[in-house]
Structure 1
Amino acid sequence: MQPGGAQESFLAINHVRDNLIPPKDRKRMTSLWEKAVKFLDENESRIRREVQQVAGEEFHVWRWLPNNALNKSPVQNASSGKKPKVWQGQAFETMEGSVNSLTCSPTPCLKIRHMFDPDIETEDDWETRVQDAILEKCGEGVKILHIRVDIGSREGCVYMKCMSQKDAGEAYRALHGCWFDGKLVTVKYLRLERYHERFPDAARCITPLKPSNNQRLSLQAHYWQSPAEAN
Protein backbone atom coordinates (compact mmCIF):
# COMPACT_ATOMS: atom_id res chain seq x y z
CA MET A 1 0.00 0.00 0.00
CA GLN A 2 1.09 3.53 -0.68
CA PRO A 3 0.90 6.30 1.96
CA GLY A 4 -2.67 7.40 2.46
CA GLY A 5 -4.07 3.96 1.62
CA ALA A 6 -3.72 4.07 -2.20
CA GLN A 7 -3.67 0.65 -3.80
CA GLU A 8 -0.47 -0.51 -5.47
CA SER A 9 -1.02 -1.79 -9.02
CA PHE A 10 1.83 -4.29 -9.27
CA LEU A 11 2.30 -8.03 -8.78
CA ALA A 12 5.49 -9.94 -8.03
CA ILE A 13 6.28 -11.96 -11.16
CA ASN A 14 7.22 -15.07 -9.21
CA HIS A 15 3.98 -14.77 -7.24
CA VAL A 16 2.00 -14.75 -10.49
CA ARG A 17 3.90 -17.85 -11.63
CA ASP A 18 3.27 -19.64 -8.34
CA ASN A 19 -0.46 -18.88 -8.56
CA LEU A 20 -0.69 -20.26 -12.08
CA ILE A 21 1.67 -23.25 -12.10
CA PRO A 22 1.57 -26.02 -9.45
CA PRO A 23 4.93 -26.75 -7.73
CA LYS A 24 5.22 -30.17 -9.37
CA ASP A 25 5.06 -28.60 -12.86
CA ARG A 26 7.33 -25.57 -12.39
CA LYS A 27 10.60 -27.20 -13.41
CA ARG A 28 9.05 -28.79 -16.49
CA MET A 29 7.40 -25.52 -17.51
CA THR A 30 10.35 -23.19 -16.82
CA SER A 31 11.06 -22.61 -20.51
CA LEU A 32 7.39 -21.92 -21.31
CA TRP A 33 7.09 -19.48 -18.40
CA GLU A 34 10.22 -17.61 -19.47
CA LYS A 35 8.79 -17.29 -23.00
CA ALA A 36 5.53 -15.92 -21.58
CA VAL A 37 7.42 -13.34 -19.47
CA LYS A 38 9.51 -12.32 -22.47
CA PHE A 39 6.40 -11.98 -24.63
CA LEU A 40 4.77 -9.64 -22.10
CA ASP A 41 7.96 -7.60 -21.75
CA GLU A 42 8.17 -7.11 -25.52
CA ASN A 43 4.51 -6.83 -26.53
CA GLU A 44 2.37 -5.59 -23.65
CA SER A 45 2.58 -1.79 -23.33
CA ARG A 46 0.24 -1.73 -20.31
CA ILE A 47 2.68 -3.70 -18.13
CA ARG A 48 6.06 -2.41 -16.96
CA ARG A 49 8.69 -4.61 -15.30
CA GLU A 50 10.46 -3.05 -12.32
CA VAL A 51 11.96 -3.92 -8.92
CA GLN A 52 9.90 -3.29 -5.78
CA GLN A 53 10.22 -3.96 -2.07
CA VAL A 54 7.63 -6.55 -1.04
CA ALA A 55 7.53 -7.55 2.65
CA GLY A 56 11.11 -6.30 3.07
CA GLU A 57 12.54 -8.15 0.04
CA GLU A 58 13.25 -6.99 -3.49
CA PHE A 59 11.21 -8.64 -6.24
CA HIS A 60 10.85 -8.21 -9.98
CA VAL A 61 7.25 -7.11 -10.47
CA TRP A 62 4.80 -6.29 -13.22
CA ARG A 63 3.17 -2.91 -12.75
CA TRP A 64 -0.17 -2.26 -14.41
CA LEU A 65 -0.18 1.06 -16.29
CA PRO A 66 -3.81 2.07 -16.96
CA ASN A 67 -4.38 4.74 -19.58
CA ASN A 68 -6.34 7.50 -17.84
CA ALA A 69 -7.81 8.65 -21.11
CA LEU A 70 -9.07 5.17 -21.93
CA ASN A 71 -10.47 4.78 -18.44
CA LYS A 72 -13.09 7.35 -19.46
CA SER A 73 -15.08 4.71 -21.27
CA PRO A 74 -17.89 5.65 -23.65
CA VAL A 75 -20.10 3.26 -21.67
CA GLN A 76 -19.50 5.18 -18.44
CA ASN A 77 -22.71 6.40 -16.88
CA ALA A 78 -22.36 10.17 -17.06
CA SER A 79 -25.02 10.85 -14.46
CA SER A 80 -23.62 8.47 -11.84
CA GLY A 81 -19.92 8.93 -12.67
CA LYS A 82 -19.32 5.18 -12.32
CA LYS A 83 -16.18 3.74 -13.83
CA PRO A 84 -17.07 0.43 -15.51
CA LYS A 85 -15.44 -2.78 -14.34
CA VAL A 86 -14.12 -4.23 -17.59
CA TRP A 87 -12.23 -7.21 -18.94
CA GLN A 88 -8.86 -6.12 -20.33
CA GLY A 89 -7.46 -9.02 -22.32
CA GLN A 90 -5.91 -12.45 -21.84
CA ALA A 91 -2.53 -12.93 -20.15
CA PHE A 92 -1.93 -16.47 -21.45
CA GLU A 93 -3.51 -19.31 -23.39
CA THR A 94 -6.34 -21.25 -21.70
CA MET A 95 -7.98 -22.97 -24.64
CA GLU A 96 -8.92 -26.63 -24.22
CA GLY A 97 -5.78 -28.77 -24.41
CA SER A 98 -3.40 -25.98 -23.36
CA VAL A 99 -1.02 -26.42 -20.40
CA ASN A 100 -3.18 -24.03 -18.35
CA SER A 101 -6.40 -26.02 -18.78
CA LEU A 102 -7.36 -29.50 -17.60
CA THR A 103 -8.68 -31.90 -20.24
CA CYS A 104 -11.82 -32.46 -18.18
CA SER A 105 -13.22 -30.41 -15.31
CA PRO A 106 -13.27 -32.52 -12.11
CA THR A 107 -16.17 -30.58 -10.54
CA PRO A 108 -18.84 -28.00 -11.44
CA CYS A 109 -17.57 -25.56 -8.78
CA LEU A 110 -14.94 -22.83 -9.07
CA LYS A 111 -13.10 -20.34 -6.87
CA ILE A 112 -12.18 -17.15 -8.73
CA ARG A 113 -9.48 -14.86 -7.29
CA HIS A 114 -8.70 -11.16 -7.82
CA MET A 115 -12.13 -10.05 -9.04
CA PHE A 116 -12.19 -7.05 -6.68
CA ASP A 117 -10.32 -5.16 -3.97
CA PRO A 118 -12.39 -4.87 -0.76
CA ASP A 119 -10.43 -1.78 0.31
CA ILE A 120 -11.60 0.34 -2.61
CA GLU A 121 -15.11 -0.97 -3.36
CA THR A 122 -17.47 1.77 -2.19
CA GLU A 123 -20.42 1.80 -4.60
CA ASP A 124 -23.66 0.22 -3.43
CA ASP A 125 -23.96 -2.16 -6.39
CA TRP A 126 -20.33 -3.26 -6.77
CA GLU A 127 -21.14 -6.90 -5.93
CA THR A 128 -23.76 -7.00 -8.69
CA ARG A 129 -21.29 -5.49 -11.15
CA VAL A 130 -18.70 -8.16 -10.29
CA GLN A 131 -21.31 -10.91 -10.76
CA ASP A 132 -22.48 -9.36 -14.04
CA ALA A 133 -18.89 -9.28 -15.30
CA ILE A 134 -18.47 -13.01 -14.67
CA LEU A 135 -21.78 -13.90 -16.32
CA GLU A 136 -21.02 -11.67 -19.32
CA LYS A 137 -17.50 -13.08 -19.81
CA CYS A 138 -18.68 -16.69 -19.59
CA GLY A 139 -21.54 -16.02 -22.02
CA GLU A 140 -25.04 -17.41 -22.34
CA GLY A 141 -23.75 -20.84 -23.35
CA VAL A 142 -22.31 -21.47 -19.86
CA LYS A 143 -25.02 -22.39 -17.34
CA ILE A 144 -24.14 -20.89 -13.92
CA LEU A 145 -26.47 -21.73 -11.03
CA HIS A 146 -24.94 -19.93 -8.05
CA ILE A 147 -22.44 -17.10 -7.46
CA ARG A 148 -21.28 -15.76 -4.12
CA VAL A 149 -19.03 -12.68 -3.90
CA ASP A 150 -16.97 -13.05 -0.71
CA ILE A 151 -17.02 -9.40 0.35
CA GLY A 152 -14.58 -10.04 3.22
CA SER A 153 -11.96 -11.79 1.08
CA ARG A 154 -8.56 -10.07 0.94
CA GLU A 155 -7.91 -11.88 -2.38
CA GLY A 156 -11.11 -10.67 -4.03
CA CYS A 157 -12.61 -14.16 -4.18
CA VAL A 158 -15.84 -15.16 -5.89
CA TYR A 159 -17.30 -18.68 -5.62
CA MET A 160 -19.33 -20.17 -8.45
CA LYS A 161 -21.31 -23.33 -9.12
CA CYS A 162 -22.14 -24.34 -12.68
CA MET A 163 -24.82 -26.71 -13.92
CA SER A 164 -22.29 -29.30 -15.11
CA GLN A 165 -18.60 -30.09 -15.18
CA LYS A 166 -18.60 -29.16 -18.87
CA ASP A 167 -19.98 -25.71 -18.02
CA ALA A 168 -17.33 -25.31 -15.30
CA GLY A 169 -14.57 -26.17 -17.76
CA GLU A 170 -15.82 -23.55 -20.21
CA ALA A 171 -16.08 -20.97 -17.41
CA TYR A 172 -12.53 -21.80 -16.29
CA ARG A 173 -11.16 -21.23 -19.79
CA ALA A 174 -13.13 -17.98 -20.14
CA LEU A 175 -11.90 -16.48 -16.86
CA HIS A 176 -8.53 -17.94 -15.85
CA GLY A 177 -5.59 -15.74 -16.82
CA CYS A 178 -7.66 -12.70 -17.82
CA TRP A 179 -7.02 -9.13 -16.74
CA PHE A 180 -10.04 -7.60 -15.03
CA ASP A 181 -10.13 -4.07 -13.63
CA GLY A 182 -6.31 -4.04 -13.59
CA LYS A 183 -5.95 -7.39 -11.77
CA LEU A 184 -4.91 -10.82 -13.07
CA VAL A 185 -7.75 -13.27 -12.42
CA THR A 186 -6.94 -16.86 -11.48
CA VAL A 187 -9.36 -19.77 -11.11
CA LYS A 188 -9.23 -23.14 -9.39
CA TYR A 189 -11.71 -25.99 -9.03
CA LEU A 190 -13.52 -26.77 -5.75
CA ARG A 191 -15.06 -30.09 -4.72
CA LEU A 192 -18.86 -30.07 -4.93
CA GLU A 193 -19.35 -31.34 -1.37
CA ARG A 194 -17.05 -28.65 0.00
CA TYR A 195 -18.95 -26.00 -1.95
CA HIS A 196 -22.29 -27.19 -0.53
CA GLU A 197 -20.84 -27.21 2.98
CA ARG A 198 -19.96 -23.55 2.61
CA PHE A 199 -23.06 -22.52 0.63
CA PRO A 200 -25.94 -24.90 1.50
CA ASP A 201 -28.40 -22.81 -0.51
CA ALA A 202 -26.46 -23.64 -3.70
CA ALA A 203 -27.74 -27.24 -3.57
CA ARG A 204 -31.25 -25.96 -4.28
CA CYS A 205 -30.33 -23.68 -7.20
CA ILE A 206 -31.56 -25.09 -10.52
CA THR A 207 -32.16 -22.00 -12.67
CA PRO A 208 -29.22 -20.51 -14.61
CA LEU A 209 -28.33 -16.95 -13.61
CA LYS A 210 -28.46 -13.99 -15.96
CA PRO A 211 -26.78 -10.55 -15.77
CA SER A 212 -28.80 -7.77 -14.14
CA ASN A 213 -29.00 -5.96 -17.49
CA ASN A 214 -28.34 -6.63 -21.19
CA GLN A 215 -25.76 -3.89 -21.76
CA ARG A 216 -22.69 -6.17 -21.42
CA LEU A 217 -20.74 -3.28 -19.90
CA SER A 218 -17.76 -5.37 -18.81
CA LEU A 219 -17.09 -6.47 -22.41
CA GLN A 220 -17.19 -3.06 -24.08
CA ALA A 221 -13.54 -2.09 -23.53
CA HIS A 222 -12.54 -3.46 -26.92
CA TYR A 223 -9.72 -0.92 -27.20
CA TRP A 224 -7.90 -2.82 -24.43
CA GLN A 225 -7.38 -5.82 -26.70
CA SER A 226 -4.02 -7.43 -26.05
CA PRO A 227 -1.40 -7.88 -28.81
CA ALA A 228 -1.92 -11.68 -28.59
CA GLU A 229 -5.65 -11.26 -29.27
CA ALA A 230 -5.04 -8.84 -32.12
CA ASN A 231 -2.94 -11.37 -34.07
Structure 2
Amino acid sequence: MASPGDLYEVIAPLLGVSHATVRAHDLALVRAGLRTTGGRGRSAAKMTSRDAASLTIVSMASDSLSDTTSTLDSFAALPTVKRWELVGKNSPIEALADNHTFLDAFAAILDAARDNQIDLAEHPKDAIGLRYYFGKQPIDIQITLHRPDCWAIVRFREPGTSEKEHIETRGYSTGKFPPQSINLKRSFTIDDRTIFALACRLDDRELKTQQELRDEMKKARIRVGSDARRSS
Protein backbone atom coordinates (compact mmCIF):
# COMPACT_ATOMS: atom_id res chain seq x y z
CA MET A 1 0.00 0.00 0.00
CA ALA A 2 1.21 3.50 -0.82
CA SER A 3 2.08 6.18 1.68
CA PRO A 4 1.13 9.83 1.05
CA GLY A 5 4.74 10.55 0.06
CA ASP A 6 4.64 7.75 -2.54
CA LEU A 7 1.75 9.49 -4.27
CA TYR A 8 3.47 12.89 -4.14
CA GLU A 9 6.39 11.36 -6.05
CA VAL A 10 4.06 10.15 -8.82
CA ILE A 11 1.61 13.04 -9.08
CA ALA A 12 4.05 15.98 -8.95
CA PRO A 13 6.20 15.13 -12.02
CA LEU A 14 3.33 13.78 -14.13
CA LEU A 15 1.17 16.88 -13.57
CA GLY A 16 4.10 19.28 -13.75
CA VAL A 17 3.54 20.75 -10.29
CA SER A 18 5.89 20.92 -7.32
CA HIS A 19 6.15 18.24 -4.65
CA ALA A 20 5.37 20.95 -2.07
CA THR A 21 2.15 21.89 -3.88
CA VAL A 22 0.87 18.30 -3.93
CA ARG A 23 1.78 17.89 -0.26
CA ALA A 24 -0.06 21.12 0.63
CA HIS A 25 -3.19 19.89 -1.17
CA ASP A 26 -2.92 16.58 0.68
CA LEU A 27 -2.61 18.26 4.08
CA ALA A 28 -5.69 20.36 3.28
CA LEU A 29 -7.63 17.15 2.52
CA VAL A 30 -6.44 15.64 5.82
CA ARG A 31 -7.56 18.70 7.80
CA ALA A 32 -10.96 18.54 6.10
CA GLY A 33 -11.32 14.83 6.88
CA LEU A 34 -11.35 13.97 3.16
CA ARG A 35 -8.66 11.30 3.04
CA THR A 36 -7.44 8.27 5.02
CA THR A 37 -5.30 9.11 8.04
CA GLY A 38 -3.06 7.14 10.39
CA GLY A 39 -0.21 7.49 12.82
CA ARG A 40 3.52 7.68 12.22
CA GLY A 41 6.06 5.12 11.12
CA ARG A 42 4.55 1.68 10.57
CA SER A 43 1.09 2.96 11.50
CA ALA A 44 1.23 5.78 8.93
CA ALA A 45 -1.76 6.16 6.60
CA LYS A 46 -1.99 3.81 3.62
CA MET A 47 -3.59 5.55 0.69
CA THR A 48 -6.63 4.07 -1.05
CA SER A 49 -7.65 4.45 -4.67
CA ARG A 50 -10.17 7.13 -3.62
CA ASP A 51 -7.40 9.00 -1.80
CA ALA A 52 -5.22 8.84 -4.91
CA ALA A 53 -8.07 9.97 -7.16
CA SER A 54 -8.97 12.84 -4.82
CA LEU A 55 -5.39 14.09 -4.60
CA THR A 56 -5.01 13.90 -8.38
CA ILE A 57 -8.23 15.86 -8.96
CA VAL A 58 -7.26 18.74 -6.67
CA SER A 59 -3.68 18.79 -7.98
CA MET A 60 -5.02 19.04 -11.54
CA ALA A 61 -7.77 21.60 -11.20
CA SER A 62 -7.27 23.77 -8.10
CA ASP A 63 -6.67 27.45 -8.84
CA SER A 64 -4.73 27.91 -5.60
CA LEU A 65 -3.83 26.08 -2.40
CA SER A 66 -6.79 27.71 -0.68
CA ASP A 67 -9.17 26.03 -3.18
CA THR A 68 -8.29 22.41 -2.40
CA THR A 69 -11.46 21.32 -0.63
CA SER A 70 -13.80 23.41 -2.78
CA THR A 71 -12.25 21.89 -5.93
CA LEU A 72 -12.79 18.37 -4.63
CA ASP A 73 -16.34 19.24 -3.61
CA SER A 74 -17.00 20.57 -7.12
CA PHE A 75 -15.76 17.49 -8.98
CA ALA A 76 -15.95 14.42 -6.71
CA ALA A 77 -19.74 14.30 -6.36
CA LEU A 78 -20.54 15.03 -10.02
CA PRO A 79 -23.24 12.56 -11.10
CA THR A 80 -23.03 10.54 -14.31
CA VAL A 81 -25.00 11.88 -17.26
CA LYS A 82 -26.72 8.90 -18.89
CA ARG A 83 -27.23 10.53 -22.27
CA TRP A 84 -23.43 10.62 -22.76
CA GLU A 85 -23.07 6.92 -22.07
CA LEU A 86 -21.74 4.44 -24.62
CA VAL A 87 -20.80 1.29 -22.75
CA GLY A 88 -17.67 -0.66 -23.70
CA LYS A 89 -17.25 -4.36 -22.94
CA ASN A 90 -15.43 -5.13 -19.68
CA SER A 91 -15.23 -1.45 -18.80
CA PRO A 92 -14.03 -0.90 -15.21
CA ILE A 93 -16.95 1.49 -14.66
CA GLU A 94 -19.58 -0.71 -16.33
CA ALA A 95 -20.51 -2.39 -13.03
CA LEU A 96 -20.96 0.83 -11.06
CA ALA A 97 -24.44 1.85 -9.93
CA ASP A 98 -26.46 4.14 -12.18
CA ASN A 99 -26.13 6.96 -9.66
CA HIS A 100 -22.35 6.69 -9.29
CA THR A 101 -20.19 9.81 -9.11
CA PHE A 102 -17.06 10.95 -10.90
CA LEU A 103 -14.93 10.05 -7.87
CA ASP A 104 -16.48 6.54 -7.89
CA ALA A 105 -15.49 6.15 -11.55
CA PHE A 106 -11.94 7.47 -11.09
CA ALA A 107 -11.37 5.16 -8.10
CA ALA A 108 -12.82 2.16 -10.00
CA ILE A 109 -10.40 2.73 -12.88
CA LEU A 110 -7.45 2.86 -10.46
CA ASP A 111 -8.70 -0.31 -8.72
CA ALA A 112 -8.96 -2.13 -12.04
CA ALA A 113 -5.44 -1.10 -13.05
CA ARG A 114 -4.01 -1.98 -9.61
CA ASP A 115 -5.69 -5.40 -9.54
CA ASN A 116 -4.61 -6.26 -13.12
CA GLN A 117 -8.19 -6.34 -14.36
CA ILE A 118 -6.89 -4.01 -17.08
CA ASP A 119 -4.02 -5.60 -19.01
CA LEU A 120 -1.33 -3.44 -20.56
CA ALA A 121 -1.13 -3.86 -24.31
CA GLU A 122 2.55 -3.18 -24.85
CA HIS A 123 4.36 -3.23 -21.51
CA PRO A 124 4.79 -5.38 -18.40
CA LYS A 125 2.22 -4.83 -15.68
CA ASP A 126 4.72 -2.97 -13.49
CA ALA A 127 5.41 -0.36 -16.17
CA ILE A 128 3.87 3.01 -16.86
CA GLY A 129 1.46 1.95 -19.58
CA LEU A 130 0.43 3.76 -22.73
CA ARG A 131 -2.74 1.83 -23.43
CA TYR A 132 -4.70 -1.16 -22.20
CA TYR A 133 -7.16 -3.77 -23.41
CA PHE A 134 -10.87 -4.35 -23.20
CA GLY A 135 -10.45 -8.02 -24.03
CA LYS A 136 -8.26 -8.07 -27.16
CA GLN A 137 -9.01 -4.49 -28.24
CA PRO A 138 -6.28 -1.92 -27.44
CA ILE A 139 -7.79 1.14 -25.76
CA ASP A 140 -6.57 4.60 -24.82
CA ILE A 141 -8.01 6.29 -21.74
CA GLN A 142 -8.34 9.98 -20.97
CA ILE A 143 -9.82 11.77 -17.96
CA THR A 144 -10.59 15.46 -18.50
CA LEU A 145 -11.70 18.10 -15.99
CA HIS A 146 -13.30 21.32 -17.24
CA ARG A 147 -13.37 24.70 -15.52
CA PRO A 148 -15.09 26.99 -14.70
CA ASP A 149 -18.06 24.77 -15.61
CA CYS A 150 -16.88 21.96 -13.29
CA TRP A 151 -17.71 18.91 -15.36
CA ALA A 152 -15.67 15.85 -16.21
CA ILE A 153 -15.36 13.29 -19.00
CA VAL A 154 -13.89 9.79 -18.98
CA ARG A 155 -13.05 8.54 -22.50
CA PHE A 156 -12.03 5.12 -23.76
CA ARG A 157 -11.10 4.88 -27.44
CA GLU A 158 -8.93 3.06 -29.96
CA PRO A 159 -5.40 4.45 -30.26
CA GLY A 160 -4.94 6.98 -33.04
CA THR A 161 -8.65 7.77 -33.46
CA SER A 162 -10.35 11.11 -32.93
CA GLU A 163 -12.31 12.09 -29.83
CA LYS A 164 -15.56 11.36 -31.68
CA GLU A 165 -14.54 7.77 -32.47
CA HIS A 166 -14.87 6.53 -28.92
CA ILE A 167 -15.76 3.11 -27.57
CA GLU A 168 -17.11 4.56 -24.36
CA THR A 169 -17.57 8.07 -23.00
CA ARG A 170 -18.94 8.91 -19.57
CA GLY A 171 -19.80 12.48 -18.70
CA TYR A 172 -20.23 13.82 -15.17
CA SER A 173 -22.06 17.09 -14.62
CA THR A 174 -24.65 18.82 -12.46
CA GLY A 175 -25.97 20.73 -15.47
CA LYS A 176 -25.17 24.03 -13.76
CA PHE A 177 -23.01 26.54 -15.59
CA PRO A 178 -20.97 29.58 -14.48
CA PRO A 179 -22.01 33.19 -15.17
CA GLN A 180 -21.85 34.07 -18.87
CA SER A 181 -19.47 36.90 -18.00
CA ILE A 182 -16.69 34.28 -17.60
CA ASN A 183 -15.20 33.84 -21.04
CA LEU A 184 -12.10 31.76 -20.26
CA LYS A 185 -12.60 27.99 -20.55
CA ARG A 186 -9.92 25.62 -19.26
CA SER A 187 -9.50 21.86 -19.37
CA PHE A 188 -7.04 19.49 -17.71
CA THR A 189 -6.40 16.02 -19.14
CA ILE A 190 -4.49 12.97 -17.92
CA ASP A 191 -4.14 9.63 -19.66
CA ASP A 192 -2.85 6.09 -19.18
CA ARG A 193 0.56 7.21 -17.94
CA THR A 194 -0.87 8.79 -14.81
CA ILE A 195 -3.45 6.04 -14.26
CA PHE A 196 -0.90 3.24 -14.33
CA ALA A 197 1.74 5.16 -12.37
CA LEU A 198 -0.80 5.66 -9.57
CA ALA A 199 -1.92 2.02 -9.77
CA CYS A 200 1.67 0.78 -9.48
CA ARG A 201 2.28 2.93 -6.42
CA LEU A 202 -0.96 1.78 -4.78
CA ASP A 203 0.16 -1.83 -5.29
CA ASP A 204 3.79 -1.21 -4.27
CA ARG A 205 4.98 -2.13 -7.74
CA GLU A 206 8.17 -0.62 -9.07
CA LEU A 207 7.84 2.05 -11.75
CA LYS A 208 10.21 1.68 -14.67
CA THR A 209 11.23 4.06 -17.42
CA GLN A 210 10.74 3.16 -21.07
CA GLN A 211 14.52 2.77 -21.44
CA GLU A 212 14.63 0.32 -18.53
CA LEU A 213 11.84 -1.69 -20.16
CA ARG A 214 13.68 -1.77 -23.51
CA ASP A 215 16.86 -2.92 -21.75
CA GLU A 216 14.94 -5.71 -19.98
CA MET A 217 13.35 -6.85 -23.24
CA LYS A 218 16.77 -6.87 -24.95
CA LYS A 219 18.28 -8.99 -22.14
CA ALA A 220 15.31 -11.37 -22.31
CA ARG A 221 15.80 -11.87 -26.09
CA ILE A 222 19.49 -12.56 -25.54
CA ARG A 223 18.68 -15.17 -22.86
CA VAL A 224 16.13 -16.87 -25.12
CA GLY A 225 18.65 -16.99 -27.96
CA SER A 226 21.33 -18.45 -25.70
CA ASP A 227 18.96 -21.10 -24.34
CA ALA A 228 17.93 -22.06 -27.87
CA ARG A 229 21.56 -22.49 -28.98
CA ARG A 230 22.40 -24.64 -25.96
CA SER A 231 19.43 -26.92 -26.54
CA SER A 232 20.17 -27.42 -30.26
TM-score (norm 2): 0.30
Higher gyration radius (CA):
2
Higher relative contact order (CA 8 A, sep 6+): 1
More helix by share: 2
TM-score, normalised with respect to structure 1: 0.30
